[in-house]
Structure 1
Amino acid sequence: MAGHKDQDFNRSALTVLHDRVWYTGQRAEKIPVGLVGVVGCDCVSLDLSYNELKSVSAVKNFTRLEELILDNNELKDLKTLPYMSQLTTLSLNNNKFSDIYSVLQRIKERCPKVVYVSLLGNPGCPDQLTDPNLNDEDDYERYRLYAIYTLPKTLKFLDSRPVTCQERIEAENRGRYLKTVKLPDRSSSPDIFETPTVGEFDEGIFNVSYTPLPRTTRGPQDHKGAYGKCRYRYSGKNSEGNRFISNNDL
């Protein structure tokens, strides 16, 4: 049975150098089971770039893993990412993440010691590499501060550059407010009005919670009404406009 499992991947495409492993460009949709049996649990660095991975649940078998490279795959989320207590490097460039904020949250929960994270080239990452016409430098800087605020404090390098002391201070002060949700594209249906949902605006700019409703409620017995007599009454019979109205108009 073990021999059969070992055949679920292309052995000729596997490169092993001490405790570092490369298995790239093989169109694998999931991490081969046999890969664990061949490289063992002593693997410290695993590069699975240029595959078609949609799940990474098998990473749980690499208990000593410190570096995981998953660039250029088909990952849409990180729901299958297991808890990785030793991981310090996680590279996820050019995947299919549209909700980049849930990805950041997942990394925070599953990789408590992460030092290096890269998410460039994903649909949800507002970097100019992904869409230079849609994203600008300010979009990315807001995202960057939010990411630094969200990810573990062990983070020292995000995307293409190190995290500076000034960025860390700004992230602590206002990073939580910089989560930006893009407005839906209404160009295909311009006649349809869509009400913005909660969180659809840039919270760093529109950080308000306004409501026209009263902030307290009163029961039926707690009223503030008052009774009294009206001193003046207006009938309108002496109104200047009434002399132009005939009986037929009534």
Structure 2
Amino acid sequence: MKKRSLGVIPASYNWSLEGLSAFGSLEELILDNNLLGDDLVLPGLPRLHTLTLNKNQITDLECLLDHLAEVTPALEYLSLLGNVACPNELVSLEKDEEDYKRYRCFVLHKLPNLKFLDARKVTKQEREEALVRGAFMKVVKPKASSDSVAASPKSHYTPLPSASRELTSHRGILGKCRYVYYGKNSEGNRFIRDDQL
């Protein structure tokens, strides 16, 4: 049987993914850079083994993975780079390597048949960790409701007591220090000569 692939679909087209249901034997699908969001709905694609959703607008990782587990049971290659759901330190300065490791563990927990995730081969160690800890690696963000934000009064926090803010009530301490710093244990001073001071 011939292998079918739709290839890259340009983002400029206004299209729906409903038409993919006609391609029941589709094996590869590249949907990179198509402004797809959390409302992504794929039809049942039982033979799909490769899916790339790079550089889209996907933020809800768990919802996406549950949907993919349901409609793409043969999925082995998945790439989500460039989405908010994929914590990549190259894209976001707030993320680090540990965030990415937790993400991989959670994805492998939800989709245990994956062989490659984000252009990196899934290792045996990652697969074992996903079995043990994967369910606990979900990143949960607290949702701020508009009621709680409006109800909380703005506090003007200051680390200083209110009495010490006035110039007349200053209470300083003056004393002698017994320790004298000679600098002989300082690493920086070992390279400075007397003629350079």
| TM-score normalised by structure 1 residue count | 0.54
Name the CA distance, whole Å, in 2 between partners of 1:60 and 1:108: 17
8 A Cα contact 2:24 2:44, kept in partner: no
The equivalent of 1:92 in structure 2 is: 53
> What CA deviation, in whole Å up to 9, does each residue of 1:126-183 have, x standing for no partner?
112331x1111101100110000101x3210001201000100000001000000234
Name the CA distance, whole Å, in 2 between partners of 1:47 and 1:67: 8
Picking from 125, 146, 159, the partner of 1:166 is 125
8 A Cα contact 2:8 2:32, kept in partner: yes
> What CA deviation, in whole Å up to 9, does each residue of 1:81-124 have, x standing for no partner?
00100000000000111112211111111100011000010122
How much is the aligned-residue C-alpha RMSD, in angstroms?
2.5
In terms of fraction of residues, the more helix-rich structure is 2
Pick the structure with greater CA Rg: 1
Picking from 85, 110, 121, the partner of 1:150 is 110
Flag the 1:120–1:192 CA change in 2: closer, same or farther, 3 A.
farther
Picking from 171, 181, 200, the partner of 2:140 is 181
Flag the 1:191–1:137 CA change in 2: closer, same or farther, 3 A.
farther
Matches within 5 A, 1:192-203: 193=152
8 A Cα contact 2:54 2:82, kept in partner: yes
State the secondary structure of the residue aligned to 2:75.
coil
Name the CA distance, whole Å, in 1 between partners of 2:84 and 2:4: 29
Q: 4+ residue stretches of structure 1 with deviation over 4 A? A: 190-193
Name the CA distance, whole Å, in 2 between partners of 1:130 and 1:50: 22
Picking from 57, 62, 67, the partner of 2:28 is 67
- Contiguous gaps of at least 5 residues in structure 1: 1-18, 20-41, 194-250
Q: Return the letter of the residue paired with 1:112.
A: P
Relative CO higher for 1 or 2, CA cutoff 8 Å, sep ≥ 6? Answer: 2
The number of aligned residues is 149
8 A Cα contact 1:55 1:75, kept in partner: no
- Contiguous gaps of at least 5 residues in structure 2: 153-197
Name the CA distance, whole Å, in 2 between partners of 1:130 and 1:192: 35
Flag the 1:161–1:78 CA change in 2: closer, same or farther, 3 A.
farther
